[in-house]
Amino acid sequence: MDTVSSLHQAQELLIPYTVVATHPSPDRLDIVLRTRNLLPAVQALQAAQWGYLSAITGLDHPGFDPTEAKSQPVEEKKWDRLADPYIQNVGVFSTPHLETLYHFCQGAAILTLRVKVPRTKPVLPSLCPLIPYATLYERELVEMMGFEVNGASSGERFILPEDWPDGVYPLRKDFESLESQASSGGSS
């Protein structure tokens, strides 16, 4: 199956769950989903045997420019502008939020399922019941970005050292170093 028809098939499969679909490049299809539709969407892909889960990317949209004063929300900064077309369609999350990108690949076709969750309560369902090997990627999301993935984490550290402080997530935009973290009194 060629790339165009692969992506077309994926788009058809996911129509019931799609909030907005875009083609960032000819070999890619990005679909924004609501969190509750994530598992049904992945199930639909699996039922049609569409591709495989290649990677999961976590993104932090802190709603402020981390180079400026911390935790002062700045309106219309570059972080928002990038995510703007999605935000309008999803409606709820202007700032700040975390985003998860589930990249599925079939041949040269790349399908990305995008899910947004609030930064204060970043809860995601686990893909493990459907894709058991997703656990390694999800544990990375949990430790590095501070997502709460229901049912993914075994509670033990996977990547970070045992003595790493709880509640500090190194890939969040407001994390600079453990020293600065200690002086400012923890993550936002």
Partner 1 sequence: MEPAAKSGKFSIPIGPQHPALKEPGHFEFSLEGEIVTSATARLGYVHRGIEKACENRTWIQNLYLLERICGICSHIHALAYALGVEKLAGVTAPPRAQAIRTLVAEMERIHSHLLWLGVAAHEAGFDTLFMYSWRDRETVMDLLEGLCGSRVHYSANTLGGVKCDVSPRHSEAIHRGVDFLEGRTRYYMDVVTHDETLLGRTRGVGTMSLDQAVALGAIGTTARASGLARDIRVEAPYAAYPDFPVRISLETTGDLLARFLVRLNELLETYRLIRLIVDHLPEGELQARIPRRIPEGEAISRVEAPRGELFYFLRSSGSDKPDRIKVRTPSICNWSSVLVTAIGHKLADMPMLLAGIDPCFSCSDRSVRIHKKDGEVEQWSWEILRQYGIDYYR
Residue 79, CA distances (Å) to 30, 66, 89, 90, 121 in order:
18, 10, 16, 16, 19
Determine which residue in the list 39, 160, 168, 188 makes contact with partner 1, applying CB under 8 A: 160
Q: Which is nearer to partner 1, 19 or 144 (CB)?
A: 144
Q: Which is nearer to partner 1, 35 or 158 (CB)?
A: 158
- Take residue 42 and report the two structure tokens written for it: 């992945």
C-alpha angle 146-131-103 in degrees, rounded to nearest 5: 65
Stretch that binds partner 1, among 33-41, 48-56, 86-94, 119-127 (CB under 8 A): 48-56
- Please report whether residue 131 would count as binding partner 1 according to CB under 8 A: yes
CA 37 to chain centre: 14
The residues pairing with 117 across neighbouring beta strands, listed in sequence order, are: 98
Determine which residue in the list 16, 47, 78, 120 makes contact with partner 1, applying CB under 8 A: 78
- Please report whether residue 136 would count as binding partner 1 according to CB under 8 A: yes
- Please report whether residue 101 would count as binding partner 1 according to CB under 8 A: yes
- How many CB atoms neighbour CB 76 within 10 A? 9
Stretch that binds partner 1, among 7-15, 36-44, 75-83, 86-94 (CB under 8 A): 75-83
Q: What is the nearest approach in angstroms of partner 1 to the Cβ of residue 27?
A: 7
- Which phi and psi angles does 18 have, rounded to 5°? -75, 130
d(CA 169, CA 147): 9
Determine which residue in the list 156, 163, 166, 179 makes contact with partner 1, applying CB under 8 A: 156
Asked whether 117 and 128 are in contact (CB, 8 A), the reply is: no
- Please report whether residue 70 would count as binding partner 1 according to CB under 8 A: no
- Take residue 20 and report the two structure tokens written for it: 């907005």
Binding site for partner 1 (CB under 8 A): 24-25, 27-28, 52-55, 57-60, 78-79, 81-82, 101, 103, 105, 107-108, 110, 112, 131-133, 135-137, 144, 156-161, 170-171, 175
